[in-house]
Amino acid sequence: MTTTTPVLSARGLVKTYGKVVGLDGVDLDLFPGEVLAIIGDNGAGKSTLIKCLTGAVEPDAGEIRLDGAPVHFRRPQDARKAGIETVYQTLAVAPALDIAANLYLGRERHRPGPLGSVLRMIDKKGMRRDAEKALTDLGIGTLQNMSQAVETLSGGQRQAVAVARAAAFGSKVIVLDEPTAALGVRESQQVLRMIDQVRSRGLPVILISHNMPHVFEVADRIHIQRLGRGAGVITPRSHTMPEAVAIMTGATTLTETPGQT
Amino acid sequence: MLGQEVTTAVEQFAQRRRSPLERLQHVLHAHPSISPLLVLIIAFVVFSSINPRFASPNSLSLVLQQVAVIGALAVGQTLVILTAGIDLSAGAVTILAMMLAAGLAEGGGLPGVVAVLIGIGVGVLAGLANGALVTRVGLPPFIVTLGTLSVFTAVALLYTKGQSVQATDLPGLLNWTGETFPVGDFRISVGVVLVGVLYLLVGFALANTAWGRHVYAVGDDKEAARLAGIRVDRVLLSVYLTAGAVYGLAAWILIGRAGAASPNAITDANLESITAVVIGGTSLFGGRGALVGTLLGALIVGFFRSGLSLAGVDDQYRVLAVGLLVLLAVTVDQWIRKVKA
């Protein structure tokens, strides 16, 4: 459907845990500026696939390419350095720290001049200002006070902080693992809008979700995992939700149900 | 392409006005040092109205000199508690550092500077032992320091055979921390000045450096800190090493204050340092609190000691009052942790 080089591509990924085969030769392509959803039943290999792509797990075999060049991630930091930011299902925010501190956690910026280089002072004002900008850019104007502790925020607002952190530092790919699983209707919509915003900046997103309506609302393409293998890639236009679920559960296959083109 | 924002009933509900109690909860949540500051002011007013001598420069100078050692230990204790740990070995490390430094320097065995550095070095090594057991072996800090409390105490007693070293047998530098000089009507000891500098340095590092942020983050949510790319074990180890160095410095201050190095000194130091931290508003669950609160907490303990003794009541009332304060402080901490948006 397109001839551009994928930003991120995987070929023949295999990962076994003892006798259990987590991934059995999976291919995946992520193109610039798209939202690629990954769906699959429990144990289909969604998590393992994502862990391989984000460096949390090293695949036994297969190849991962970033912008066409082969990469080997041995730990999450490697993937992050390469520009792949992940928002984990367990909200990876420190509740007692404020919004700005969370946004820059582990990447604090120092003040210019000797205050920063000698005294190692961090640039609190600057980080607060840029945190505010990062959140406003994603359409979350409701969080005005960057020195507010994250624990005083709602679940959706916390998720917004986590997504904003990924969007602010991810230069190549953003991976969101079940970002709406713990959220209410309105908060989920807020997060889906953020995903939309990230895509409109040209940054591709990988979205893992159980929620079919959310997937069909925001995804450009949908990668279906089944029993450790890729069961095919569909789009919200080519297939309906029941068809996607049928492929996912093995009730039908992509060859039997090719969908509309 | 996505649906427009709809204002739901839930959102309107969230916008209701806060009750005065909730507003107080929010203020205390944002500024945890307010409660110890209030307690300190009230204690000052009450004790000086009971006995005006309490507020005299002489008596206040004495309070400062008395709280110097506990105040120093409480700095290390604050660091450990901020990471959601606890250090039961603080006093034992101090005694061990003091006895090794004094024992080696006794009768001109070593120059004073070397003895002071040995004291701090012993503290750092003890911190390394605690930190390694917490990070490498993965034991809970409570158990680790409960064990090292006994180990360090026993080593100090075995080394000294229970004997004290008198100040007259020690190089002058080791006693220097006990020397006082006038500041207006007050008499300030070198030890008090050192503790003041210690608070400024560690307070600055906690509030203004990335390391300080990481200490808070590790205590707040270890997993979140790890996922944010913070090397949790390294931060924890640095905290135990720094605490150890602080205890080594406290040993020096203790020699000057006591005029001798005795293996049976400051038996209450562990609990009193934890008391100062907790009264100062630092959460035992980690991740929240500030060093300024610990300073206030140490002063509160000192005020109670001096004020109740000047009021002529039994010392057990001080113990009772401080115990109640600890319970109150932990209760307040539990309450403000439940703050809502």
In this complex, the residue of A88, A94, A121 whose CB is nearest that of residue B208 is A121
Give the C-alpha distances (Å, rounded to integers) separating B56 from B182, B213, B304. Answer: 14, 40, 15
Q: What pLDDT sits at residue B207? A: 94
Provide CB contacts within 8 A for A142, sequence distance 6+. A157
pLDDT band at B340 (very low <50, low <70, confident <90, very high): low
Distance from CA of B123 to the nearest CA of A (A): 25
- Is residue B222 within 8 angstroms of chain A, CB to CB? no
CB contact (8 A) between residue A76 and residue B29: no
Q: Does A114 touch chain B (CB under 8 A)?
A: no
* Inter-chain touch A120–B210, beta carbons under 8 Å: yes
- Given a cut of 60, whether residue B242 has pLDDT beyond it is yes
pLDDT interval class at B7 (50, 70, 90): very low
Bridging pattern class, strands B186-189 and A84-87: unpaired
Give the pLDDT confidence score for residue B6 in this predicted structure.
Answer: 42
Spatial distance between the Cα atoms of B241 and B238, rounded to a whole number of angstroms? 5
A190 Cβ under 8 Å from any chain B Cβ: yes
Higher pLDDT residue, B74 or B13? B74
Tell whether B290 lies on the interface with A, counting CB pairs under 8 A.
no
Closest residue, chain B, to A139 (C-alpha): B5
What burial class does residue B144 get, using C-beta atoms within 10 Å of its C-beta: 0-12 exposed, 13-18 middle, 19+ buried? buried
Residue A90 touches partner B, C-beta closer than 8 Å? yes
CA distance to partner chain B, nearest, from residue A251 (Å): 31
- φ and ψ at A176, to 5 degrees? -115, 120
Pairing of strands A35-40, A229-234: unpaired
- pLDDT at B145 > cutoff 90: yes
d(CA A173, CA A73): 14
pLDDT tens-digit map of A57-113? 899 999 999 999 999 998 888 898 899 999 887 767 888 899 999 999 988 999 999
Please list the residue range(s) of chain A that carry CATH number 3.40.50.300: 31-56+72-92+155-249
Alpha carbon distance B93, B252 (integer Å)? 12
Nearest CA in chain A to B222: A94
The C-alpha atoms of residue A132 and residue B257 are separated, in whole angstroms, by 51
Among 3.40.50.720, 3.40.50.10860, 3.40.50.300, 3.40.50.150, what is the CATH number of A31-56+72-92+155-249? 3.40.50.300
Mean model confidence pLDDT for chain B: 90
Distance of residue A109 Cα from the nearest chain B Cα, in angstroms: 8
Instruction: Please say if the pLDDT value at position B225 is more than 70.
Output: yes
User: CB of A77 within 8 Å of any CB in chain B?
Assistant: yes
B positions 171-210 inside 8 Å of A (CB): 204, 208-210
Mutation for testing the B interface, residue in A34, A90, A105 having most B CBs under 10 Å: A105
Phi and psi at B3, nearest 5°, equal -60, 150
Instruction: Report chain A residues whose CB lies below 8 A from the CB of B229.
Output: 76-77, 80, 105-107
Q: Do residue B2 and residue A218 have CB atoms under 8 angstroms apart?
A: yes
- pLDDT score of B210: 95
pLDDT of residue A92: 74
Please tell me the distance in Å from A86's CA to the nearest CA on chain B.
9
What was the ipTM of the complex prediction?
Answer: 0.82
Asked if A152's CB is within 8 angstroms of B341's CB, the reply is: yes
Q: Is B214 on the interface with A (CB under 8 A)?
A: yes
Contacts of A94 in chain B (CB under 8 A): 216-217, 220-221, 224-225, 228, 287
CA distance A235 to A223: 9
When mean pLDDT is compared across B82-86, B104-108, B207-211, the lowest value belongs to: B104-108
pLDDT at B63: 94
Question: pLDDT digit string (tens) for A124-166?
Answer: 999 999 988 888 887 776 666 888 888 888 888 888 888 888 9
Contacts of B287 in chain A (CB under 8 A): 94-97
- Chain B positions touching A153 (Cβ under 8 A) are 341
- Closest residue in B to A77 (Cα–Cα): B229
Task: Test B211 with A120 for CB contact under 8 angstroms.
Answer: yes
pLDDT exceeds 90 at position B38: yes
